């Protein structure tokens, strides 16, 4: 039992302490929902948010995995106590401009599932916005309606500049007059072709990434923003602190594919980092285009012949597209689940490979930072890890994984 309770998300190693908050701008299904990780002021006490923000997400995961509803309380027992080692609504460090990363989650995930990667990148001087998609690819997500239909809620959400309270907290408390609506994952129907559905979802996901970038652009310009959530970090503290000339998009699995399409369609994204990208939703037409720089970081055991073909087709004739593989890793090695599951759950859901989970995530983080410096022209020292981008080092090889 002791080993179970030793499982936790690692604290950030970068020079900046990290805070986080949630923004839901436009409470309707068409609005933007994201978790923001950001450099915060050092010192003081602040609460740590629960990793699974609401019990409903346990139900969403069980539904996505086609498990019995009786598994929901068991999943909550296994994961419900975990916290994210960041300061919830901690005071923003408004002393410089920070580059921005928009992060897109995978199929059956949600905005908090990649907390370890997001908070580590934020600790190196980035603002990271983890989108929770409403294309019905999340395990579940929520939006709000008013009692009188989808009209504006009453104004006046309060702002916070930090908290001296201690202890983990659940992080969704909406403004008065809003009724919560939960949106479950959309599963394939019997006999349904997958590509049309996933390509449609892909287009919506790219739109949602752009919407979050629009939102943060408004915030950076000082435009008034009405957050549907009460008591969260006041958006106005971010004014003039987002470097909109240095914006990238990043994601895992379906989110990796989303990042590839987003960087090809939206010139505001200067580069993309695609973690074990699920390439099925990407059209052949898109694969024939030469997108901006893309960094494919693959696990050893997920990719198929068709998805590797698409990666190579994109890379053909484009030296700004890099592909590496982390040996001993599996698809879930790039999620928080690899850190929070013990041996039994790992066997059941293949959340761990043969590589140490912390070592695998460290390779991802350092390689991504080196790539971001290269293509965002960052005045940092991340180029010390340039060899990883070229597939040189322990536990990595250049190119896609070999098929067996």
Nearest to 145 by CA among 134, 154, 153: 153
List helix spans (H) across 221-304: 254-265, 284-287
d(CA 274, CA 271): 10
pLDDT digits (tens, 9 = 90+) for 140-174: 999 998 866 554 544 444 444 444 344 555 556 66
pLDDT band at 44 (very low <50, low <70, confident <90, very high): low
d(CA 323, CA 390): 8
SS (H, E, C) 318-363: CCCEEEEEECCCCHHHHCCHHHHCCHHHHHHHCCCCCCCHHHHHHH
Q: Which residues are known catalytic residues?
A: 253, 276, 331
pLDDT digits (tens, 9 = 90+) for 175-225: 777 888 999 999 999 999 999 999 999 999 999 999 999 999 999 999 998
pLDDT digits (tens, 9 = 90+) for 192-202: 999 999 999 99
pLDDT band at 122 (very low <50, low <70, confident <90, very high): very high
Residue 1, pLDDT score: 33
Residue 70, pLDDT score: 86
Q: Yes or no: is domain 2-398 CATH 3.30.70.1350?
A: no
pLDDT digits (tens, 9 = 90+) for 253-280: 999 999 999 999 999 999 999 999 999 9
Q: What's the farthest any 2 CA atoms get from each other in the chain? A: 59
Report the run of H or E that residue 87 belongs to, with start and end: strand 87-88
Domains of the chain, by residue range, sit at 2-398
Residue 45, pLDDT score: 64
Average pLDDT over residues 38-56: 89
Residues in the chain: 404
d(CA 159, CA 230): 7
């Amino acid at each position: 039992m002791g080993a179970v309770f030793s499982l936790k998300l690692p604290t950030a190693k970068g020079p900046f302490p990290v805070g986080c908050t949630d923004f839901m701008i436009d409470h309707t299904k068409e609005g933007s929902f994201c978790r923001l990780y950001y450099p915060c002021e050092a010192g003081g006490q602040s609460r740590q948010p629960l990793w699974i923000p609401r019990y409903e997400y346990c139900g969403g995961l069980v539904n996505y995995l086609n498990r019995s509803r009786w598994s929901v309380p068991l999943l909550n027992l296994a994961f419900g106590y975990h916290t994210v080692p960041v300061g919830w609504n901690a005071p923003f460090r408004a002393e410089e401009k920070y580059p921005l990363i928009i992060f897109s989650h995978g199929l059956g995930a949600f905005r908090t599932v990649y907390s370890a990667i997001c908070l580590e990148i934020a600790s190196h001087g980035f603002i990271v916005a983890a989108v929770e998609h409403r294309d019905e690819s999340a395990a579940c997500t929520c939006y709000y309606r008013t009692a009188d239909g989808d009209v504006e809620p009453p104004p006046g959400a309060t702002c916070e500049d930090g908290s001296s309270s201690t202890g983990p907290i659940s992080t969704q408390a909406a403004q008065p007059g809003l009724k919560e609506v939960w949106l479950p994952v959309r599963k394939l129907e019997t006999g349904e072709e997958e590509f049309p559905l996933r390509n449609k979802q892909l287009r919506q996901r790219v739109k949602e990434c752009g919407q979050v970038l629009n939102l943060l652009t408004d915030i950076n310009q000082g435009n008034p923003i009405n957050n549907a959530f009460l008591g969260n970090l006041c958006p106005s503290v971010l004014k003039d602190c987002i470097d909109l000339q240095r914006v990238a998009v990043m994601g895992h699995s379906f989110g990796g594919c989303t990042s590839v399409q987003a960087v090809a369609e939206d010139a505001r994204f200067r580069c993309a980092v695609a973690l074990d990208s699920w390439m099925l939703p990407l059209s052949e037409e898109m694969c024939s285009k030469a997108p901006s720089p893309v960094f494919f970081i693959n696990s050893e055991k997920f990719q198929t012949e068709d998805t590797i073909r698409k990666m190579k087709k994109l890379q053909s004739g484009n030296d700004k597209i890099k592909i590496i593989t982390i040996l001993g890793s599996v698809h879930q090695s790039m999620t928080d689940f690899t850190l929070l599951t013990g041996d039994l759950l790992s066997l059941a859901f293949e959340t761990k490979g043969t590589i140490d989970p912390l070592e695998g995530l460290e390779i991802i983080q350092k390689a991504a930072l080196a790539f971001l410096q290269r293509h965002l022209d960052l005045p940092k020292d991340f180029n010390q890890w340039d060899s990883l981008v070229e597939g040189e080092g322990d536990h990595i090889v250049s190119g896609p994984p070999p098929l067996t």
